[in-house]
Amino acid sequence: MKALVCTEPGLLEYVEKVPPVLQPGHAIIKIKRIGICGTDLHAFTGTQPFFTYPRILGHELAADFIMADGTHGFVPHEKVTIIPYFNCGNCIACNNGMPNCCTNIKVCGVHIDGAMVNYLSVPIKSLVKSEGLSYDELALVEPLAIGAHGVRRANVQPGEFVLVIGAGPIGLGTMEFARIAGGNVIVLDINASRLQFCTDKLKVAHAINAGKDDVMARLKEITHGDMPTVIIDCTGSQQAINMALQYLANGGRLVLIGLQKEAISFSHPEFHKRETTLMSSRNATRADFEHVMDCMKKRLVKPTTYITHRINFEEVKSVFETWLLPETGVIKAMVVVD
């Protein structure tokens, strides 16, 4: 079978691989769709923490179930997706119901080889039934679940002002689920076309361009002087994270979904006087996946709106680097695998 390997930062190569052999407790799936996300792009540029090379990228996927070891409840060729955070089930986090931050976690496409292949072996417990969703929709469940988990961590309440920093795919999902939770969503970014996408397609009422607008003045205007009680960073930008605290209301919650390699830094007095709650949000849980899929089925969120680029698996190497360029206008690139 064919696999696309990131051999080192900036270099992708197609190679021939032996198809996976069925292992105890595992299933074999045939990949049909792969969504390209920030993790893949950061891995390509060498800025993704927790990453080693060579690595087969890809963890946002839709597939056909082929076979599995033992009793499993799936039938051949039914549509599936996976929860790509393979946890040990025995550590303190797993035992406390937090498998998304398992001590020994292996994230598909990050710590271990991922979905840029024809066939993939995954733990049976990671499989998720399609619930009638299409391949495109299934491949978008995982990135939306990342946002849904961050919103759940923030405990967004109806009527709260929620500032989402970053209008990439994870930020879009975060905005959607903050809205579903009843939040008044504000988006902050430096990309005018993405801000336009948020107002046109997602109907976000308040968009602020950090490169052009007086951010503090706009936030005060929108929130009637109170400032947002929830800020969720989806950028992975050190500068954006370090600046976020000044935009937060006293008593507010700051949630970091975005990830970068360096230290974060902010004024302790500013942090302390707000009695700030600072949280990270890592991956997602099965409950988040179920919530996302339920919202998709109810048409509360329409994820296929995000797909701006579609390409066949055999062409990915030739265009992957262009997806890093703002002028290409990529929101979500979807790879189709025959």
More confident residue, 49 or 122: 122
pLDDT tier at 314, thresholds 50, 70, 90 = very high
What integer pLDDT is reported at residue 71 of this predicted model?
Answer: 79
What integer pLDDT is reported at residue 326 of this predicted model?
Answer: 86
Region class of 46: left (phi > 0), else alpha (psi between -120 and 50), else beta: left
pLDDT tens, residue by residue, 232-242 = 999 988 999 99
pLDDT tens, residue by residue, 172-187 = 999 999 999 999 999 9
pLDDT tens, residue by residue, 84-97 = 999 999 999 999 99
Which domains are assigned to the chain? 2-139+302-336 (3.90.180.10), 147-280 (3.40.50.720)
CB neighbours of residue 217 within 10 Å: 10
What's the rounded Cα separation, in Å, for the pair 318 and 313? 10
Region 104-117 average pLDDT: 96
pLDDT tier at 205, thresholds 50, 70, 90 = very high
Share of the chain above pLDDT 70, in %: 100
Structure tokens at 108: 């598909």
What integer pLDDT is reported at residue 42 of this predicted model?
Answer: 87
What integer pLDDT is reported at residue 327 of this predicted model?
Answer: 87
Provide φ and ψ at 268, rounded to 5°: -65, -45
Q: Is the pLDDT of residue 261 over 90?
A: no
What integer pLDDT is reported at residue 39 of this predicted model?
Answer: 86
What's the rounded Cα separation, in Å, for the pair 2 and 306? 27
Question: In 3D, which of 337, 332, 275 has the Cα closest to residue 35?
Answer: 332
